[in-house]
Amino acid sequence: MTNSAVFLDRDGTLNEDTGYIGDPEIVKLFPDVGETLFRLKKKLDLLFIVISNQSGIARGLITKQQVESVNQKINTLLEVFNVEIDAFYYCPYHPDYNTLVESKCRKPSPEMVLKAAKDFKIELSKSYFIGDSISDIECGLNASVKTILVKTGKGRESLSILHNENKMPNFIAENFYEAGNFIINDLYGENK
């Protein structure tokens, strides 16, 4: 049996992006994230997989332990909504500090999505990528999943660049709640 998933960028999509977040105490989810993830889980039983670039590790600004503490804090905050992120995949490398081979996991490469798809038996044709940056949308396109750009985080500035490069997402959402509605309607066949 295969699963459907929502691949999620972390900073700027699920939580406020304050830049290289290492302190779990400053993590703030966007207001509609917990409720929306709960609705998606309850209605559609989707897997939630975070896919994020964490080059702050390569840059020496944060540690792997700090990234994992922040990830854990996100799930702690989501407990209130009876939902959790099923897995966190992150690329700690950057080509300015590491080899190109090491850095090939970085979005827009689909490598982390493809690894998660293998690990969790995910059917990519029935899955989605929600993100706020160009690399999120390109990663989703490269992995052949439907893409949703949220206008939180870097979303607004990313939109004009994606438009100019003719790499438009399947849907543009004002916020995470709208992104969730698109997925529900799409899987129920109401986005025609």
pLDDT value at residue 191: 59
pLDDT value at residue 153: 94
Of 192 and 92, more confident: 92
Q: Is the pTM of this model over 0.85?
A: yes
pLDDT value at residue 188: 84
Share of the chain above pLDDT 90, in %: 96
Whose tokens are 């799409």? That residue is 186
Share of the chain above pLDDT 70, in %: 98
Stretch 104-129: mean pLDDT: 98
Q: Where are the domains of the chain?
A: 5-148+168-187
pLDDT digits over 36-94, tens only?
999 999 999 999 999 999 999 999 999 999 999 999 999 999 999 999 999 999 999 99
Stretch 6-11: mean pLDDT: 98
CATH number for domain 5-148+168-187, candidates 1.20.1530.20, 2.30.30.240, 3.40.50.720, 3.40.50.1000? 3.40.50.1000
Distances (CA, A) of 124 to 2, 8, 45, 118, 142: 10, 14, 15, 10, 11
pLDDT digits over 121-136, tens only?
999 999 999 999 999 9
Which three-class secondary structure string do you get for the chain? Answer: CCECEEEECCECCCECCCCCCCCHHHCCECCCHHHHHHHHHHHHCCEEEEEEECCCCCCCCCCHHHHHHHHHHHHHHHHHHCCCCCEEEEECCCCCCCCHHHHCCCCCCCHHHHHHHHHHCECHHHCEEEECCHHHHHHHHHCCCEEEEECCCCHHHHHHHHHHCCCCCCEEECCHHHHHHHHHHHHCCCCC
Which three-class secondary structure string do you get for 100-145? Answer: HHHHCCCCCCCHHHHHHHHHHCECHHHCEEEECCHHHHHHHHHCCC
| 11 classed as catalytic | yes
